[in-house]
Structure formats: C-alpha cells, structure tokens
C-alpha cells in the first residue's frame, strides 16, 4: 500500500534509480522507503567503505558515519572510500566527499569521534539500523549492547586474513552477538591490529554482503541473515551458514542484566579464532554436514537415531543406493514432510550434495530440529567408503 508519508522522487532520482524502480521488490515505493531511511555505519575503513559506497549509490537517504581516524597509505589496499590524495585527511572528510560524488542526493552525517559508552546511545538513537564495520572487539560489544538496549538491528561483519563473517544481530526474536560470545576474549589472546593481515578484497566481499542485508531489511524483502552466521573462506571460496539461536541466558538480550554500556580495553578482532570458538561454543553446529565416513561409522555401530533420506530420482536409485536409505525424490519432499518425524535427526543425501542441501534447507525451514547433509553425496560415499557403489 503506498505510504503518503514517504518522500517523493525528483525526476533526476527517477532516472538515477531506474534499475531499482523496475525491480518488483523495490519499485518506486521501495525506493522512496530507501530515501526515507537513516543508516549509521560504524567505521569508514575496510568494511565501512563498500557499505557506504553501495548504500549511497542505492539511494539510502541519510548515512551516518562514525570514525576518528585519518587516512593512512596502508589503508588504500582495501578502504576504497579513500584515495591517494586523501592520505593524512580525516577519513570522515574523504568519505563525505566521495559519497557526495557517488550520489549528491544522499545526506551524510559525520561523527569524528571514537564510539564509547558515553556517546554510543546518543549517536545511534536516531538511526533505523546500524552497520558494524569495526575492527576490534571493544567496539563490537559496544555496538551490540547499544543495539540491544535501543532495539535496533545490527548488521554485523568481520574479517581476518582470508576469512570473513556476516550476520544480522539484535533483530526482534533473533540472537545478538553476545548470544554467540557472551564475553570478549582476554586481550592477551588476540594479536594486535598490525600483526593481523587481511586480503584486501575480503572486506569488499563482506561489506557488500552487509550492504545487501541492510537494503533487504530496509525494504522488508527476502530472508535476512537473522539467526544465521555466514562464514566465508576466500581461499577455498566456500560460503557456509551456521544457525544461531537466541540464548535465554545471554546477558544482553536474554536476562537483560547488561543495562548500561561497557568500555572494554581496545584490542583487535580475530574472526579466525572466533570461528574456532564457534565450533566449540553453543553452536557446535547441529546442522553441520556429515561426511560419508562419519555416516558409515554410525551405520556400522547400529545407530538408528536418524532417518536417511535419498532425494535423487528413481532412475538414480536403481543404479545404486544405500540399504539404510529411503527414496524421497527432491520434487516430492514437500509432499512427504508429514511422513517424516521432525524430532528425529534427518540425514539427506543425493548424488553429490547439492540437491540434498536444498532439501535440508527446506526441512529446517519446515521446523525439523536437526537436519544434516551427506557431504559429497553418493559419489563421495563411493570414493571414500564403498568403491563397489557405481559412479555415474
């Protein structure tokens, strides 16, 4: 329904945003919604650069930027908001100039300051959502807690070396960063910023994902990364999502024992370590892929706590299948949901893991508690467990 309180678009804006306006999920209404939106970006560095550039280009009406730093030559390898001639200049100034060049219709509100417990709530209060582009734990916890206290969504991203992460925290009914990591690691365990290298293009990948999530949230379209943590490994070029649950014991969004902001000592963020942390934390991912060897071991020890569902087609099943499996071709999974027990663990398999991955996602969305995909499917089973199974 058209909302008459939204700002209208000038003819120049209609031309500029024409590729958005013809998208059914955006349209004139959505573009006006973007124009009315206020987004605060914490940090004008590696992540903040692509976030700010794309949100400005997309026509988000007001962008707030918090940064206290000056442009250093070593920033230019990844912080594309700033150019060589900006070295020595406050990042906030070069950011504003660049963003106005990208899109003069966008209002830039700048805060040349370090975000602290004393100013965070005040700065963040008037924005619709917050994009976390910080590079250290202290600010990350500050941003998280302030978002929980203010009831604002936190579009999170972090990078380390060749690995990145993204999620949307503090959405209504979704987990926050502290649900995942209740307390920051002690400073001694984390290498300092100068030691931690980063592949220059990585913040470009993670930041554009944050910008995408931001636009989706503002438009109310698609499935945002709420309750999911996206893990990116650029060396193997694998994208993986793990499910996150809201923790009722979370000191921020669960028990609400955190009622004011905390200034931790400044130290740098290391998602690589955090990723390991993820493996043993609350998230010991119940939906992680199962390898053929793991499946073979479970079958060999008579484990019947799971149902094995093969989503291939009948002609493939005839060539080869596992005795334990039940055939439910992908196209019939939706109709067969009632015949499966959502409280039992389900292992899905196909030829190489793609179709079963889709089936697993569908089953999780349908309320199945524990769904695991057989990594590599029957081809990998043949290679690693039973060579007598024909490959096709």
Give the footprint of Zn ion on this chain (CB under 5 A).
Answer: 176, 178-179, 250, 252-253
- The β-bridge partners of 230 are 166, 241
Q: Looking at 193, 250, 253, 268, which residue is catalytic?
A: 193
Closest distance of CB 179 from Zn ion, Å = 4
Residue 65 CA from chain centroid, whole number: 21
| 193 is an active site residue | yes
Strand ranges, E, within the chain: 38-42, 62-66, 107-111, 129-132, 153-160, 163-169, 228-233, 238-243, 306-310, 326-327, 345-349, 371-373
Residue nearest to Zn ion (CB): 250
Instruction: Kindly tell me which of 257 and 323 has the beta carbon lying closer to Zn ion.
Output: 257
Three-class SS of residue 95?
Answer: helix
| 147 is an active site residue | no
Closest distance of CB 263 from Zn ion, Å = 19
Closest distance of CB 213 from Zn ion, Å = 18
Closest distance of CB 273 from Zn ion, Å = 20
How many helices and strands in the chain, by DSSP H and E?
A: 15, 12
Strands 306-310 and 345-349, how do they pair? Answer: parallel
Closest distance of CB 247 from Zn ion, Å = 6
Instruction: Kindly tell me which of 81 and 179 has the beta carbon lying closer to Zn ion.
Output: 179
Instruction: Kindly tell me which of 178 and 351 has the beta carbon lying closer to Zn ion.
Output: 178
Instruction: Kindly tell me which of 186 and 248 has the beta carbon lying closer to Zn ion.
Output: 248
239 contacts: CB under 8 Å, gap ≥ 6? 230, 231, 232
In terms of Cβ atoms closer than 10 Å to its own Cβ (0-12, 13-18, 19+), residue 301 is exposed
**DSSP character at residue 264:** P
Residues carrying an active site annotation: 193, 350
């Amino acid at each position: 329904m058209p909302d008459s309180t939204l700002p209208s678009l000038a003819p120049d804006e209609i031309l500029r945003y024409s590729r958005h306006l013809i998208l059914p999920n955006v349209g004139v209404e959505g573009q006006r919604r973007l124009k009315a939106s206020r987004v605060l970006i914490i940090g004008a560095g590696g992540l903040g650069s692509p976030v700010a550039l794309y949100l400005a280009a997309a026509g988000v009406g007001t962008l707030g930027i918090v940064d206290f730093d000056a442009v250093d030559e070593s920033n230019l390898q990844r912080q594309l908001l700033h150019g060589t001639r900006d070295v020595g200049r406050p990042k906030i100034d070069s950011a504003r100039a660049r963003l106005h060049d990208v899109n003069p219709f966008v209002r830039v509100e700048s805060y040349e300051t370090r975000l602290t417990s004393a100013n965070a709530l005040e700065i963040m209060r008037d924005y619709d959502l917050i994009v976390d582009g910080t590079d250290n734990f202290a600010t990350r916890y500050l941003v998280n807690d302030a978002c929980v206290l203010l009831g604002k969504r936190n579009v999170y991203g972090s990078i380390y070396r060749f690995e990145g992460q993204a999620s949307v925290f503090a959405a209504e009914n979704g987990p926050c960063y502290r649900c995942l990591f209740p307390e920051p690691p002690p400073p001694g365990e984390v290498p300092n910023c100068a030691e931690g290298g980063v592949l220059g293009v990585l913040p470009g990948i993670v930041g554009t994902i944050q910008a995408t999530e931001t636009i989706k949230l503002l438009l109310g379209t698609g499935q945002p990364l709420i309750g999911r943590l996206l893990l990116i490994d650029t060396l193997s070029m694998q994208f993986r999502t793990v499910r996150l649950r809201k923790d009722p014991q979370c000191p921020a969004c669960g028990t609400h024992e955190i009622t004011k902001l905390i200034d931790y000592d400044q130290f740098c963020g290391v998602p690589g370590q955090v990723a390991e942390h993820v493996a043993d934390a609350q998230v010991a991912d119940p939906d992680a892929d199962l390898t053929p060897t793991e499946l073979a071991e479970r079958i060999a020890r008579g484990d019947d706590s799971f149902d094995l569902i093969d989503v291939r087609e009948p002609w493939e099943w005839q060539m080869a299948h596992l005795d334990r499996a039940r055939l439910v071709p992908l196209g019939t999974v939706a109709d067969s949901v009632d015949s499966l027990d959502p409280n039992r663990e389900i292992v899905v398999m196909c030829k190489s893991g793609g179709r079963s991955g889709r089936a697993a996602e569908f089953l999780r969305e349908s309320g199945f508690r524990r769904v695991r995909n057989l990594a590599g499917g029957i081809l990998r089973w043949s290679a690693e467990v039973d060579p007598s199974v024909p490959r096709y």
